[in-house]
């Protein structure tokens, strides 16, 4: 009898110990991840009712802002003036839909609960500072509009990066969605019971195989890009790991995201060193009564390297071969009137190289100017039977044309004196 009591006591003690460990894990170890999980809408619902900062583009365009209270007079509503244009990056914040994008990853800064914003003087330790943070992005509104127009009605993605810092200048993907429909309080704005198919094209994997007849640099570029698997580390939630082979063997198609392609291209311009891509330029702190244009303090994001992707000795040769490919394809850029700049490209088909019927998507990366690149562009176009643009051109050619258009817009921005920028 005594032995049974001892065994029961040990079993109960073990059960309580397991319960205590699990409670500790949920309450402390995993608390941050659970609180910020995209399926957890409680934090987002609470944030909707509190003062919140704006999200602003690099050239001063307001991308997200509070617009007042709902019919009950309690909740501050959120508005996204440009709708689908920045939906994948800015994200959304709603009482039922939860939060995504910048709205989720920079929630503490926007709501003013981050330590650097909430506590700026001794009195803030004892009273509510009444501050919020405005998040200023690296995205340029003009280049973003150009990227969307260049891609047109095709499904795919365009990513433009500054190789020296990793700053993302434009990031457009199609299909997109309207964040205002998710945060609208009007019943029926989103069909009940329906899951919104949010297709983040810039975070989706594609099977890539270079079309060597178009550019002999394509195979070499992809071989270098696939050497370092893993996410790029961009300051946005939900980025998948990659790049991994789709199959086995050295000839298996490599799977990359458009963002990974752009980061790989940027590393060539940076002598093999890959800078960590980021979309947030700085955080401005201000009073809830103040205007976004008049912050009290500003904290800028510092560029960070993410390791070496290409060997330094090989980047010059690869850049030269990409430049030769651009010359062969007669690709030159004119960011300012009367000036033509050489570019460097690598491109290819998107799909199964053994089946010409499925090789209808395309990819391209472009560096410009070729001699000292300040812009890296990656374009991916999803497979589509109507992709060919006539005269036998298709595949990497169309993607290259789109990349050139986006690069010209970014280079034209670089030509503007800093004193003239917002």
Q: For residue 97, is it within any domain?
A: no
Residues 408 and 271 reside in one and the same domain: yes
What is the predicted pLDDT for the residue at 195?
27
70-84, 125-139, 166-180, 236-250, range with the lowest pLDDT? 236-250
Q: For residue 179, is it within any domain?
A: yes
Pairs from 85-88 (Cβ < 8 Å, separation ≥ 24): 85/144, 85/145, 85/148, 85/172, 85/176, 86/57, 86/139, 86/144, 87/176, 87/177, 87/178, 87/179, 88/171, 88/173, 88/176, 88/198, 88/200, 88/201, 88/202, 88/203
The share of the chain scoring above pLDDT 70, in percent, equals: 57
Closest CA to 137 of 257, 286, 301, 260: 301
Q: For residue 400, is it within any domain?
A: yes
Q: For residue 411, is it within any domain?
A: yes
Q: For residue 107, is it within any domain?
A: no
Q: For residue 152, is it within any domain?
A: yes
pLDDT at 203 over 60: no
Q: For residue 393, is it within any domain?
A: yes
Q: For residue 15, is it within any domain?
A: yes
The share of the chain scoring above pLDDT 90, in percent, equals: 10
- pLDDT higher at 120 or 62: 62
393: containing domain: 141-277+305-420
Residues 149 and 16 reside in one and the same domain: no
The CATH number that applies at residue 221 is: 3.40.710.10
Into how many domains does the chain fold? Answer: 2
User: Model confidence over 242-284: pLDDT tens digits?
Assistant: 555 445 444 555 567 788 888 888 888 888 888 889 999 988 8
What is the predicted pLDDT for the residue at 146?
93
User: Model confidence over 172-182: pLDDT tens digits?
Assistant: 998 888 787 76
Residues 257 and 386 reside in one and the same domain: yes
Closest CA to 261 of 348, 177, 334: 348
Residues 15 and 145 reside in one and the same domain: no
Residues 27 and 150 reside in one and the same domain: no
On the CB side of 186, CA atoms within 13 Å amount to 6
pTM for the complete prediction? 0.75
pLDDT at 49 over 70: no
């Amino acid at each position: 009898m005594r032995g049974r009591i001892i065994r029961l006591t040990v079993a109960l003690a073990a059960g309580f110990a397991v319960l205590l460990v699990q409670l500790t894990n949920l309450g402390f170890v995993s608390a941050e991840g659970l609180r910020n999980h995209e399926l957890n809408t409680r934090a987002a619902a609470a944030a909707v009712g509190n003062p919140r900062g704006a999200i602003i583009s690099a050239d001063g365009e307001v991308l997200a802002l509070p617009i007042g209270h709902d019919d009950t007079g309690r909740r501050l509503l959120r508005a996204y003036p440009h709708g689908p244009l920045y939906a994948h990056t800015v994200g959304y914040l709603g009482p039922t839909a939860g939060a995504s994008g910048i709205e989720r990853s920079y929630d503490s800064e926007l709501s003013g609960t981050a330590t650097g914003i909430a506590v700026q003087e001794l009195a803030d330790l004892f009273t509510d500072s009444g501050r919020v943070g405005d998040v200023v992005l690296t995205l340029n509104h003009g280049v973003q509009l150009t990227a969307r127009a260049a891609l047109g009605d095709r499904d795919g993605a365009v990513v433009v990066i500054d190789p020296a810092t990793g700053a993302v200048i434009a990031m457009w993907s199609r299909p997109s969605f309207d964040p205002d429909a998710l945060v609208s309080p009007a019943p029926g704005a989103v069909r009940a019971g329906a899951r919104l198919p949010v297709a983040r094209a810039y975070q989706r994997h594609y099977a890539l195989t270079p079309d060597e007849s178009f550019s002999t640099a394509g195979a070499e570029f992809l071989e270098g890009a696939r050497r370092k698997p893993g996410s790029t580390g961009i300051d946005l939630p939900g980025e998948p790991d990659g790049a991994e082979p789709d199959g086995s063997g050295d000839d298996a198609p490599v799977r990359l995201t458009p963002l990974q392609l752009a980061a790989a291209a940027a590393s060539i311009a940076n002598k093999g060193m890959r800078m960590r891509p980021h979309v947030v330029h700085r955080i401005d702190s201000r009073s809830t009564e103040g205007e976004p244009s008049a912050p009290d303090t500003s904290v800028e994001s510092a560029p960070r390297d993410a390791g070496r992707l290409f060997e330094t000795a090989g980047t010059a040769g690869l850049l030269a071969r990409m430049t030769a490919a651009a010359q062969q394809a007669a690709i030159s850029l004119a960011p300012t009137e009367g000036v033509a700049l050489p570019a460097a490209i690598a491109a290819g088909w998107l799909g199964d190289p053994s089946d010409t019927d499925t090789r209808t998507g395309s990819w391209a990366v472009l560096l410009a100017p070729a001699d000292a690149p300040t812009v890296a562009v990656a374009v991916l176009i999803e497979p589509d039977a109507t992709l060919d643009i006539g005269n036998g051109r298709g595949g990497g050619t169309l993607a290259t044309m789109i990349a050139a258009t986006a690069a010209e817009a970014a280079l034209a921005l670089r030509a503007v004196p800093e004193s003239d920028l917002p």
